[in-house]
Structure 1
């Protein structure tokens, strides 16, 4: 008897990741709708893969952060634009203005420390498709049960971990 559940033909992990990334888009969209001003003490840390498809950062920033970087949206940012699948923003790095464009699929973390809220994501990109469903796999190498784990410090950071093929 086989106790291993079969691989799903429905990409639940991708659907959940996409839905959680939509939260980031909605929050940033509310900032745009509010005139580009963050309400109250809210501020955001957004971590993303600098080499992900569609990411646009100045070459000197890409050289400093070849894999991943975190930006802070708090006091000094401008031209925040949000679309269905990305956002763009102007920020200053060492007193040098820069425009960034970040697809939501490149985001690996979003945190609002003012209210102890955060989300962590699996990076999506060209190399992420290696984990797609393999019809020849009997499921014995994959743990398909998602694990939702609250942060150990009692904060509202949520990490959704879907089993990866080993």
Structure 2
């Protein structure tokens, strides 16, 4: 990626946002922010209890992430955020115009397996179905790329960098 865009690493729980985000930020030479750190304690308690968040829970969280991204405009950065619905991504773009999305995608069984082996995370595997039900993949008019999460973290990161470099305005190639 040639220009200092802010990249939002998105996807359902367990796709590796927290693993790939810092690796991608290191490759791009920009700071990384963990989206979960922007959740108010009430959201964390709700998810820890196995209750999915509703939109009213998500708006302040998305606004906080958007404010961080907007503060990095022109400087670049990477932030993780599930951004499952188009309306959530629209909200992020309204706060931080120019953000680019890397949608981590994967087979449900693989994602569930990875989720079940995570240590110390508040999101239980019981909420995975609600995540997939809510997911609205990136649309052709949204600046971003989809990257499959099969393989190791370095391989996934490399595919993300290559895909970003192929996006108009971020690299030298053509769109996805």
Into which bin does the TM-score normalised by the smaller protein fall? under 0.3
Higher RCO (CA-CA < 8 Å; seq separation 6+): 2
Structure with the higher helix share, 1 or 2: 2
TM-score, structure 2 normalization: 0.24
Structure with the higher strand share, 1 or 2: 1
Q: Over alpha carbons, which structure has the higher Rg?
A: 1
TM-score, structure 1 normalization: 0.25
